[in-house]
């Protein structure tokens, strides 16, 4: 069974575009869970252009499924995670000006940093996951670092699958096999969509969780379009 954690950053982006509180992030989080998703993911960034730090505190009382907070563990992020105590924290080495996450951790260079920070979260009973490119060399020291899970960065798979190159799944299969052997849980995320998720799920053993934002919200808009256009036409007739 693979859990679906919906990344609601895009809802916050839409809200922020107009000021005010429409769409209401908390209402969306409630509905997403009501419709069956098993988790809510947020990725607050230092400039708060998507989800704000205050949203994360407010969501705490609304999320009754798995709450996953992603981000680069700077001091403000660490403080917030320790106060909110989500189910899982996913550590991502994104730069302040990155449009979105564009690389996983170099776990070799960052071994002591990750060990220290993961130790702190684990002391507080927060499950830890690290965002990693599908390269075996970055998995070897993960038990030493103490990570409970890895989120495999799936952009490369998604791009190549779309281009008709399903062999791009191979490094992910190899990483998942190694993680299973190391007894570290496998999550995945970035650019997963209705088009590419089935093949990924079929090929990856013990895929515990996917976090999906951009495509899921785009697909929801597209699938909802006909209903909403018809509702407007009824009102205008």
Active site residue 70: yes
Among 191, 200, 204, 207, binds ligand PXP (CB under 6 A): 191
**Binding of ligand PXP by 43 (CB under 6 A):** yes
- Stretch 3-42: interaction string toward ligand PXP, x if CB under 6 A: ----x-x---------------------------------
**Marked catalytic residue, from 50, 66, 151, 190:** 190
Task: Tell me the sheet residues that pair with 152.
Answer: 132, 188
Among 85, 146, 214, 220, binds ligand PXP (CB under 6 A): 214
**Binding of ligand PXP by 92 (CB under 6 A):** yes
CB of 41 to ligand PXP, least distance (A): 7
Active site residue 50: no
Among 16, 38, 100, 180, binds ligand PXP (CB under 6 A): 100
Residues in touch with ligand PXP (CB under 6 A): 7, 9, 43, 70, 92, 100-101, 131, 151, 189-192, 211-215
Catalytic residue ranges? 43, 70, 190
């Amino acid at each position: 069974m693979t859990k679906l954690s919906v990344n609601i950053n895009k809802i916050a982006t839409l809200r922020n575009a107009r000021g005010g509180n429409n769409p209401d992030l908390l209402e969306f989080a409630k509905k997403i869970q009501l419709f069956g998703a098993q988790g809510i993911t947020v990725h607050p960034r230092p400039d708060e252009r998507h989800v704000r730090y205050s949203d994360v505190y407010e969501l705490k009382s609304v999320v009754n499924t798995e709450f996953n907070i992603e981000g680069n563990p700077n001091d403000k992020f660490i403080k917030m995670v320790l106060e909110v105590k989500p189910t899982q924290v996913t550590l991502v080495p994104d730069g302040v000006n990155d449009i979105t996450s564009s690389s996983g951790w170099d776990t070799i260079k960052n071994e002591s940093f990750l060990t220290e920070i993961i130790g702190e979260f684990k002391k507080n009973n927060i499950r830890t996951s690290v965002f990693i490119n599908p390269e075996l060399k970055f998995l070897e020291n993960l038990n030493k670092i103490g990570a409970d899970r890895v989120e495999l960065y799936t952009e490369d798979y998604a791009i190549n699958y779309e281009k008709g190159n399903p062999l791009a799944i191979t490094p992910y299969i190899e990483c998942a096999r190694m993680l299973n052997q190391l007894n570290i849980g496998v999550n995945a995320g970035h650019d997963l969509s209705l088009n590419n998720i089935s093949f990924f799920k079929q090929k990856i053993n013990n895929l515990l969780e996917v976090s999906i934002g951009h495509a899921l919200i785009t697909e929801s808009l597209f699938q909802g379009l006909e209903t909403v256009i018809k509702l407007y036409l009824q009102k205008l007739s």
